[in-house]
Amino acid sequence: TVGNFGSSERMDYTIIGSAVNLASRLETAADLDEILISHETWSYVKEKIICEPPHALHLKGFHHPILAHKVLNIKKKDKNSLIILNDETRGLNLKIDFSKISKEELLAIIYNLKSETDIKTTDHSD
Pick the more confident residue, 103 or 122: 103
Model pTM score: 0.56
Lowest mean pLDDT among 2-11, 77-86, 98-107: 77-86
> What's the chain's average pLDDT?
80
Instruction: Give 65-97 as a DSSP string.
Output: PEEEEEEEEE--SSTTS--EEEEEETTEEEEEE
List, for residues 11-35, the tens digit of each pLDDT value: 888 888 888 999 999 999 999 989 9
Same domain, 88 and 64: no
CATH number of domain containing 11: 3.30.70.1230
Domain extent for 69: 1-75
Query: How many domains does one find in the chain?
Result: 2
Distance CA 60, CA 112 (A): 44
What local confidence, expressed as pLDDT, does residue 67 receive? 94
Same domain, 4 and 52: yes
What local confidence, expressed as pLDDT, does residue 35 receive? 95
One-letter amino acid identity for 13? Answer: Y
118 membership: H or E segment, kind and range: helix 103-119
Same domain, 52 and 94: no
Pick the more confident residue, 8 or 81: 8
Same domain, 41 and 31: yes
Same domain, 67 and 13: yes
